[in-house]
Structure 1
Amino acid sequence: MKTKIRFWMPAILFALFSVFLTNCKEKEEEPLPEVEQLENDTSFTDTRDGNVYKKIKIGNQIWMAENLRYLPSVVGSGTGSETTPYYYVYGYNGTNVSVAKETENYKTYGVLYNWPAACTSCPEGWHLPTDADWIELETYLANNGYNYDGSEGGDRMKIAKAMASTNGWISSSEVGTPGNTDYPEYRNKSGFTALPGGYRYMTGRLYDIGNAGRWWTTNMAYSTTAWLRIIVSDYSNVFRGEDNLSLGLSVRCVKNK
């Protein structure tokens, strides 16, 4: 199945239009002391469920180096909404959280969240990244030696290999892509370890596991869509696009500054 990619408006139009949109309403709270005590240089524990996550410092940001696995409830992929929070595990169609957590897809790829669920799912002290958070990450990587060919600049056009995990991707012959083993010194050079966890489309169908990963931002693009990032096995760039709020996508949290 060919990956669906919806491209972005020109930056000026987006800036003018975005002032009329409502973004995620996240709680603005300081990290709890007990959460801080459970952190070290490379990992932290989510006290809500005991999940331990690797983390990585990239530039001035600290990112999760794994997909979020917070799962307070679960539904099958046939259930969807643009307004009600829903949580999915790729390939699991039941409603039993304990059973869902035992699946390999949960353990490997984490949870797929519709946008309302993604907005409130990051643990205390962390937040769903804004579009600006992603741009900061991408700009840092492109300008600091993470393009697959050693060049600098070029926005997000050559950084996918440096962000993607070194395994799990469908093989590709395209140069400098996550699915190609070329330029081995640049494979996951950033430590971000992006995973091809697939996604839930608005029709309820599941697509792209092994081929692509998609991650939400907090920012709406239109009244029923939000900005996201996509990494695909056979593309060297990171895509910035927008899609419907009912989609089930992965989540990476970034630490509050």
Structure 2
Amino acid sequence: MRTIYKLLFLFLVLVNSNILFAQTNHAPVVTNVDFTIRPDGSKIVDITYDVFDADSDTLKVTIEASSDGGATWGLSCANISGAIGKDITSGAGKTIVWNTGVEHPNFYSPTVQIRITANDLYFGTCGDQLIYAGKSYNTVQIGSQCWLKENLDVGVYAASTSTGSSHSDVSNNGLIEKYCYNNDTANCTSYGGLYDWNEAMAYSTTPGTKGICPTGWHIPTKAEFETLIAAVGNDGNALKAVGQGTGSGVGTNTSGFSALLAGNRFNNGYFYTLGTNTTFWSSTESNAAYAYYFYLWNNDSSIGVGNFYKDHGFSVRCLED
């Protein structure tokens, strides 16, 4: 890994890295990362880099951002365009434009870092492992869809305050923020984070948006969850990890989805149903206050789709584009 330091408006630090799949393959190499901030006051950052892949594979390029010197990678970096995402080929002088003026108009930190990553997009099949925000995720093919096999665990921890009234303890502040069940960060490690709908969506309302998922992945729509349900014949046990559930709700995990009964955060700040229920946000709104979700219980094989307040904290599973 090579780090380039350059003192400019946001004191951005760009870090080169690459992702290695488990199979034998030459990893793509990112070099010569540099940036300039436009002098017109727009706070637009022009990032350039070179990328080379010895196998001449088509690549997927992603960007992650950190606000704390690389300790965590939860700074939103979504307002980007250019040589980013899928179908990037090897070459010099690749350009990415990051509009920090729009995304972070009031944000400042002297320890912001950016990490540019390239991996082989078409090497292997669904089932390869990917790394996002420093954490490894497995992938699984279910019918026509490729899913992350684990709940998303990205962002900085936000404590949930139990007030007895509806509220959110996260905000649109440029950081990805997550709740951890019972305010215990070990539960995020085990079960993934719990996210408000708006936070999961990166404050977009567009169905199928990337949200807080890795580049090339997105928050599933209600219709895409219904496709998943059809693929497993409406059998919720096929989606639950082995060891999850009881009685007629025992998980068989024949799909490989590996759902954990991760519980939820109610919008009054309390946590509930760890070990008895799991709920996943869709990217489809029901109305201005509600969004659709997909859920499983511990004691039967049913799969439910409902809608509820967006300020509840539910799990997030990403679906490949």
TM-score (norm 2): 0.56
Q: Return the match for 1:56 from 140, 158, 167.
A: 140
1:224 has 2:296 as partner:
no
Amino acid at match of 1:162: A
Structure richer in strand, relative to its length: 2
Counterparts of residues 15-30 of structure 1 (less than 5 Å):
30=85
Q: 2:223 aligns with which of 121, 125, 132?
A: 132
Q: Aligned partners of 2:285, 2:189: CA distance in 1, in Å?
A: 29
Residue 197 (structure 1) aligned to one of 243, 262, 266: 262
**Contact 1:35 / 1:46 at 8 angstroms: preserved in 2?**
no
Q: Distance in 2 between matches of 1:69 and 1:123?
A: 11
> Equivalent of 2:243, from 167, 188, 204?
167
- The runs of at least 4 consecutive aligned structure 1 residues that moved more than 2 Å come to 25-47, 81-86
String of CA shifts for 1:106-155, please: whole Å, max 9, x gaps. 2210100100111121010100000111111111221xxxxxxxxxxxxx
Partner of 1:111: 193
**CA displacement, residues 49-83 of structure 1 (integer Å, 9 cap, x when unaligned):** 22111110111110011100112x22111261697
Q: Distance in 2 between matches of 1:132 and 1:121?
A: 19
Q: Which residue of 1 aligns with 2:307?
A: 242
Gaps of 5+ in 2: 1-77, 89-116, 162-166, 202-210
Aligned residues between the structures: 195
Structure with more relative contact order (C-alpha pairs < 8 Å, separation 6 or more)? 1
Give the structure with higher Rg (CA).
2
Q: Write the distance in 2 (CA, Å) between the matches of 1:35 and 1:209.
A: 36
State whether residues 202 and 246 of structure 1, in contact with CA within 8 Å, keep that contact through their aligned partners in structure 2: yes
For residues 113 and 92 of structure 1, the distance between their equivalents in structure 2, rounded to whole angstroms, comes to: 13
Q: Distance in 2 between matches of 1:118 and 1:178?
A: 29
TM-score of the aligned structures, taking structure 1 as reference length: 0.69
State the one-letter code of the partner of 2:168: G
Paired with 1:46 and 1:130, the residues of 2 have a C-alpha distance of 23
Q: CA deviation at 1:222?
A: 1.8
Gaps of 5+ in 1: 1-24, 94-99, 143-155, 180-186
2: CA distance, partners of 1:226 / 1:242: 5
Taking every aligned residue pair, what percent have the same amino acid on both sides?
26
Compared with structure 1, are the counterparts of its residues 26 and 235 closer, same or farther at alpha carbon in structure 2 (3 Å cutoff)? farther
Residue in structure 2 matching 1:80, options 168, 176, 186: 168
Flag the structure with higher helix content: 1
The separation in 2 between residues aligned to 1:135 and 1:35, in whole angstroms, is: 32
Query: In structure 2, which of residues 250, 275, 278 is the aligned counterpart of residue 178 of structure 1?
Result: 250
User: Cα RMSD (Å) of the superposition?
Assistant: 2.6
